[in-house]
Amino acid sequence: MSNRLKIYKSVTHVVKLPYPGKVFVEYGDKVEPKTLVARSELIPGMPAYLNVTNMLNISINKFSASLSCAKGQFVKAGATLASYQDETVEAPFKGWIEHVSYSNGYILLRQLVNKNDKPVVIHAAKSLGMSPRAFKNVVIVKEGENVVRKQTLAGDIEFVTAPMPGTIERIDLAEGIITIKPHYRPTELISGIQGRITKVYPRYGVEITTNADILSGVFGAGQKVTGRLTFNLDEVNGTEPVIAVIEGKVSADKLKSIAMGKQLRKWDKKNIVGVIAGSIDAEELVELYGGSVFEGVTGVEEFPISIIVTERFGQREISTELLNYLREHDQTIVTLHPESNCHPPIKLPQAFIYK
């Protein structure tokens, strides 16, 4: 059997959030590839860097004793994170203590934003010690503008900065108030395959077990899709998602035509969501899926057809052994995970062929 095809009695697939959140499924639950299994409302990107030793003006030897928090703890806005004598370090927003560096004296705080959080009201004129009339001359931002933490909002000699990332929702010049709506950017986790939950990682994710074989390609692009594997598109209706097999090289023009529904009649009105092909020209792959393909990292492209290439670039056909296997599984439900990474750690695209 081809080294690109692994035959299994069962397959386990683990999906985890990068940060803690809420898991929505339980042990034994049946899931489909698009089932939402977990969500984190911690904002992705760089966390806030709080240099405690500098802020408290203490040596590293006193850092540990100054702490009022620990790694992994959730804190409210304004909570005391560290203190020494009359000085304190407070949380600029509610969040999660992602890291505490005992060797360098800093804390990393990741912001938590819930969907129904109210906008943050900043009494900017009062903070600057000026009247609202004078305040209107020192406002730097505009309504609708996105800001990052510590970005200057207003001021000339003294300044008021944004306490967190968000969007300027309103500027009240009469009252000297700036209102910021925190960004709500949850990380949602889908199961990715069909199967049953065989393990739950509290607050992080799940393990899913299914009965499937795995086909590994050499390169892929597009997003995760599920459909019925087919060689003959005349046998499928126009609504069911389809994974089409193209035995040889697939061209950019053909993929564009499939996506637009303007290929030959047998392609018309077919809900083709993915393609397994023998090969494709590298230049055409970049043309369709963009610069991420050129960089060798894929999985977020928005082109409506996902693709897994089983052989190399250029003019090659799917190997006879692999092609025979696919023919034996014609009309089987398949999930494509086309995301690839050509840089260490290497990640090859996969097709889960359910049995």
- 245 near 231, Cβ under 8 Å? yes
Percent of all residues in the chain with a pLDDT value above 90, rounded to a whole number? 65
What value does the CA radius of gyration of the chain take, rounded to a whole number of Å? 27
Q: Average pLDDT, whole number, for the chain?
A: 89
The reply to whether 7 falls in a domain is no
The reply to whether 170 falls in a domain is yes
The predicted structure's pLDDT at residue 260:
59
**Is the same domain home to 344 and 217?**
yes
The predicted structure's pLDDT at residue 2:
60
**Is the same domain home to 342 and 291?**
yes
The reply to whether 127 falls in a domain is yes
Q: What is the pLDDT of residues 29-88, one digit of tens each?
A: 999 999 999 999 999 988 999 999 999 999 999 999 999 999 999 999 999 999 999 999
Count of structural domains within the chain: 4
**Is the same domain home to 261 and 314?**
yes
Q: What is the pTM of this model?
A: 0.81
The reply to whether 4 falls in a domain is no
Q: What is the pLDDT of residues 209-243, one digit of tens each?
A: 999 999 999 988 888 999 999 987 666 666 788 99
What CATH number should be reported for the domain holding residue 175? 2.40.50
The reply to whether 283 falls in a domain is yes
Report angle CA 317, 320, 325 to the nearest 5 degrees.
115
Collapse the DSSP code of 295 into the 3-class scheme (helix H, G, I; strand E, B; otherwise coil) and give the result. Answer: coil
How are strands ordered across the β-sheet holding 205-210? 11-16, 205-210, 195-201, 30-31
pLDDT at 302 over 80: no
**Is the same domain home to 229 and 270?**
yes
Tell me which residue range forms the domain holding 82. 48-111
Q: What is the pLDDT of residues 121-134, one digit of tens each?
A: 999 999 999 998 89
pLDDT at 13 over 90: yes
**Is the same domain home to 226 and 318?**
yes
- 60 near 103, Cβ under 8 Å? yes
Cβ atoms within 10 Å, residue 123:
13
**Is the same domain home to 258 and 283?**
yes
Distance CA 220, CA 218 (A): 7
The reply to whether 177 falls in a domain is yes
